[in-house]
Structure 1
Amino acid sequence: MSEFVRTTPSPLLTSTGAVPNPDDSPDAGVAWHYGDPLREQRHAERSAAIVDRSHRFVLSIAGSERLTWLHTISSQHVADLPDGASAENLSLDLNGRVEHHFVLTDLGETTWVDTEPGTGPDLLAFLQKMVFWAKAEPRPAPDMAVLSLLGPDVRRPRLLGALGIPELPDVYGAVPLPGGGFLRTMPWPGEHAWDLVVPRDRLSHWWATLTEAGAAPAGTWAFEALRVVALRPRLGLDTDERTIPHEVRWIGGIGEHGAVHLNKGCYRGQETVARVHNLGKPPRHLVLLHLDGSADTRPEPGDAVTADGRAVGHLGTVIDHHELGPIALALVKRTVPADTPLVVGGTAAAIDPDSVPRHDEVQPGRAAVDRLRGR
């Protein structure tokens, strides 16, 4: 599990009904909920909700070679990313294990990056160390902050008018916002999702503007519940020090809503990615667990997932969903059948069969070897 970095409390915590996240939470410093977290989830799915995610770590990269340089040291194909486009990306270690997950947007000759608050300083340090002679300047951007808008009603004229933009961009597209910053469309945590990366001194302005236009305040509880159902992992909660991209659904180019392009040039950790893609299968995979809601205690992230008393994985994010009840993400061994009775933290658990990825496809490398052998 990653170390959580304590952030300065958001000014939006003074909003009516705001309940802060616990101090030991990775989301400390912003609102956990506003008094009715399950209702907030329904707003996020069915109408419109706004979530304060201003604890996210934001940095900027200037310089004419920023994209070609970033392309060489990360897993996504971003060398020719057009202005007003975004992508998800990873930094891997030499063994192909995930060190950082981040979202980037290139707009107006600057690349903006936002990532987990607990790993942001390390990501910035890594990028600065890797500049060498490239014309790229990674810098912290503490004056920028992230808000998220969720729900189909964001597309309605009232909220579009409040945003001051004529229409919403396609997935991973970004447009400037009045007064600075930008809005980008995301493919998760729900079908209707947008991030606003705005000047921190305008957080209260945007919060007031968008709530007055009909977006209901929602805490990180709502955001996380949608993320878990969408099977989107979170670094440090749903990953560990051994996680490789294939295990947690981060494989794919921008058009596939992934973070690892399989046909780009060399980058750190590429050998592992290519080997698993072409010849092997991931040792574990990310699944959705349904937890016994009648249990007296609730398991916690990091708890062992067991089958017949034998550890077969570990628990990630645990959340209460407004329809599904208590659910969680877990990394479990690929060989564990979906109908295996599981126990985690003393609580019975079951794998959602629809969450199990398929591994029956023939890898390109195996197919080539078979052809050479006449099979």
Structure 2
Amino acid sequence: MRSPLLGLPASVESIGLGVAASYGNPFTEQRDLLSGSAVVDLSHRGVVTVTGPDRLSWLDSLLSQDLRSLKPGDSTEALLLDPQGHIEHAMRIMDDGVTTWLLVDEDRSVSLVKWLDRMRFMKQVEVADASDAVATFGCFDSGSAFSALGAVALSPQGAALVWADPWNHVSAGGWQYADAAEHPAGEWNYREVLVARERMPELVLSMKGAETAPAGLIALDALRIAAWRPRIVTEGDATALPHETDWLRSAVHLNKGCYRGQETVAKVHNLGHPPRRLVFLTLDGSDAVLPEAGTPVFFGETEVGRITSSGRHFEEGAVALAIIKRSVAPDAELVVNVDAVEIAAAQIVIVPTDAGRVANVPRMPRLGKVTRPIA
């Protein structure tokens, strides 16, 4: 369905999604998002609800994250894996004491609901697709945008439904492969707020003032890429393992009970290595063109991977995420070809070549979850 925010000045619609790709200046929109003064329309994404007294223990038995202890107001994320450990769904999760809310990308709610319904058996749970009634909006914390969304946020149990992205720290039970001294997600205070679709016109009116501005998908994606933050619709494919994108950091609890795909997760992490690895690329000479998702990445004449996401960052210039073979040396000089233009792609390692095989490796202490209520 087409978002009413497309009626705001200078909006440019993202083809096939019904929301804005930009509002005229993605660089300004990136700055506005980081300052907390802009809202990004994510109403094309899906929302799934799970109710019933068994909801958390049931989801815990199916998904990669520890959900039994999830308390009202907590935020987390989890993956649904196939029996071989490949990622089938990624969910941003919160609970309000009565309902567990699963936020999913694009049109994935239909297939997720269908799968979950088949797995209910005798459990006291009900699964529903709420995408037609509930919309998702993104912002960064501590600004006018967060307050504007709070004024119209869905609050079925008296507290606004706000998902706080756990990517800015290593979640309890998680593991970080990236060895960067300062992970770029350290200041990633990103939030997603649920709003009843019938209240979206109110949000449009509030955004016509001077305090809160709209931002498009292009701006948010460039910031996400710079934070090394994976998404299933971009970094995922039929054979994706969570280890390859460093998603053990926030979406997998390595010490919880059994779940689908757990054996593969444990084997790769403790005894093996992921076959591919995520890298961050800075693209030299790509002012005029950007490589699209799926563009091959080469080392010499050999194809070693593919671009998964690309964008123009207001400070770092043309950047991308790519999945490449684990064996590619960290100092290898990579290139991508776009419209017969050869673009140098300098890699910054996210998942190192020796990721995995951590059995008997001493574990460094990690901080637990940090959540903030909406103001």
Query: What TM-score bracket applies, with the shorter chain setting the length?
Result: 0.7 to 0.9
Q: Give the 3-state SS of the residue equivalent to 1:251 in structure 2.
A: helix
Match of 1:373 in 2: none
- Within the candidate set 183, 187, 197, 1:200 is matched to 197
- Within the candidate set 222, 230, 235, 1:233 is matched to 230
Map Cα deviations across residues 161-207 of structure 1 (whole Å, 9 max, x no partner): 87359xxxxxxxx9948998522322458623221101111122134
Q: Give the 3-state SS of the residue equivalent to 2:232 in structure 1.
A: coil
Match of 2:172 in 1: none
Q: Residue 245 of structure 2 contacts residue 351 of structure 2 at CA under 8 Å; is this kept in 1?
A: no
AA partner of residue 357 (structure 1)? V
Map Cα deviations across residues 72-94 of structure 1 (whole Å, 9 max, x no partner): 01100001211121210100001
For 2:287 and 2:28, the matched residues in 1 are separated by 23
Match of 1:153 in 2: 143
For 1:324 and 1:362, the matched residues in 2 are separated by 30
AA partner of residue 70 (structure 2)? L
Q: CA offset at residue 367 of structure 1?
A: 5.6
Q: Residue 188 of structure 2 contacts residue 227 of structure 2 at CA under 8 Å; is this kept in 1?
A: no
Q: CA offset at residue 317 of structure 1?
A: 0.8
Segment of structure 1 superposing worse, 261-270 or 339-348: 339-348
Where do 5+ consecutive residues of structure 1 fail to align?
1-7, 166-173, 253-257, 369-375
Match of 1:14 in 2: 7
Match of 1:308 in 2: 300
1:185 pairs with 2:164: yes
Q: Give the 3-state SS of the residue equivalent to 1:212 in structure 2.
A: coil
Number of aligned residues: 340
Match of 1:329 in 2: 321
AA partner of residue 344 (structure 2)? A
Map Cα deviations across residues 111-161 of structure 1 (whole Å, 9 max, x no partner): 111101232211111111111111111101020010112265349xxx648
Match of 1:128 in 2: 117
Q: 1:71 to 1:191 in 2, by over 3 A?
A: same
For 2:105 and 2:208, the matched residues in 1 are separated by 25
Q: Residue 84 of structure 1 contacts residue 175 of structure 1 at CA under 8 Å; is this kept in 2?
A: no
Q: Give the 3-state SS of the residue equivalent to 2:344 in structure 1.
A: strand
Q: Residue 164 of structure 1 contacts residue 177 of structure 1 at CA under 8 Å; is this kept in 2?
A: no
Q: Which has the higher contact order (CA 8 A, sep 6+)?
A: 2
Q: 1:208 to 1:194 in 2, by over 3 A?
A: farther
- Within the candidate set 79, 104, 109, 1:115 is matched to 104
Q: Give the 3-state SS of the residue equivalent to 1:240 in structure 2.
A: coil
Q: Residue 141 of structure 2 contacts residue 191 of structure 2 at CA under 8 Å; is this kept in 1?
A: no
Q: 1:352 to 1:359 in 2, by over 3 A?
A: closer
Identity %, equivalent residues: 38
Q: TM-score, normalised by structure 2?
A: 0.83
Q: TM-score, normalised by structure 1?
A: 0.83
